[in-house]
Homo-oligomer: A and B are copies of this chain.
Amino acid sequence: MPLTITRFAPEDLSSTEVSKSLTTDSLSASYKLEYFDVSSVGAVPRDILSFGNAQWEDLVVTNWPAEVKSPFGLFPVLHIKTADGREIRLTESFVIEHFLAKQFGLLGDNEWEELQIKTFHSSSLYLRERLTIRVTWNYKEVQEKALEAFLSKDLPLWIKTHTKHLKDNGSNGHYVGNKTSLADLQTANVIDHLKCLYKGDAIVQQIQQGSPEIWKVKETVDKEPRLQKWRQSDGYKTHIAFSQARYANTGI
């Protein structure tokens, strides 16, 4: 893989200068979210940018793996053009999603709400990652039993514990407080991801039947007015269609 390891920020800027540029008005900045032409790991950052009504471009990775330009050789990469014209890159899902969620008001109203939101976000993100590594891109000869183990152990534990905490918050379609947060977006997008997988309908049915509380989060996100423009766009629909095609036959 011919790789250009890109920098996170221009070499001649001090970290104080970059910090200052980054914390300037987020609505005057513009963003490019660079990822493959599927939903998966790109779905949540795209939803946050859409939710925040940001100036952003949905940049699809081309020419991969013939030519890769990225700080870690991986995607997604978030390209930020700050209000004062500086070009900064972020990578790693947790970093990109926490950063964007902070910029666009998806981390609650105080320190404790933020910690709880990040906790549920992490739990749902990791459910997808565990499934992706353990099942989706595992060796074909063990995929079937790995999926069985996921469906009989990991998924029920996630459903059971998330349901309990959602009930503690009043079963109102939100993990924390009374409004849409990064946690809600993550869980809704994980369910969308599961749906694209082999036996996806059965997996999603297990969630829907097992937890009206989790399902309410999914429905509340899907109805979120600030997501509609993006979700009805050709770009979004193409990612979903390509995900379905990509994940229909996986394994290595």
Which residues in B have their C-beta under 8 angstroms from that of A19?
110-113
Do B142 and A138 touch across chains, with their CB atoms under 8 A apart?
yes
Verify if A40 is at the interface (C-beta below 8 Å from B): no
A73 to chain B minimum Cβ distance, whole angstroms, is 5
Chain A window 100-114, contacts with chain B (Cβ cutoff 8 Å), 1 for yes, 0 for no? 000000001111110
Do B110 and A161 touch across chains, with their CB atoms under 8 A apart?
no
Bound complex: CA of A161 vs CA of B69, how far in Å? 11
Do A118 and B95 touch across chains, with their CB atoms under 8 A apart?
yes
Verify if A62 is at the interface (C-beta below 8 Å from B): no
- Which one, B3, B119, B139, contacts A95 given CB within 8 A? B119
Do B160 and A122 touch across chains, with their CB atoms under 8 A apart?
no
Bound complex: CA of A139 vs CA of B74, how far in Å? 26
Tally of chain A residues near chain B (CB < 8 A): 56
Q: Tell me the residues in window 151-185 of chain A with beta carbons closer than 8 Å to chain B beta carbons.
A: 157-158, 160-161, 164-165, 168, 176-177
Do A177 and B110 touch across chains, with their CB atoms under 8 A apart?
no
Verify if A189 is at the interface (C-beta below 8 Å from B): no
Do A94 and B109 touch across chains, with their CB atoms under 8 A apart?
no
A67 to chain B minimum Cβ distance, whole angstroms, is 15
Do A72 and B123 touch across chains, with their CB atoms under 8 A apart?
yes
- Which one, B94, B111, B119, B142, contacts A90 given CB within 8 A? B119
Do B71 and A5 touch across chains, with their CB atoms under 8 A apart?
no
Verify if A222 is at the interface (C-beta below 8 Å from B): no
Closest to A74 in B: B157
Bound complex: CA of A122 vs CA of B23, how far in Å? 22
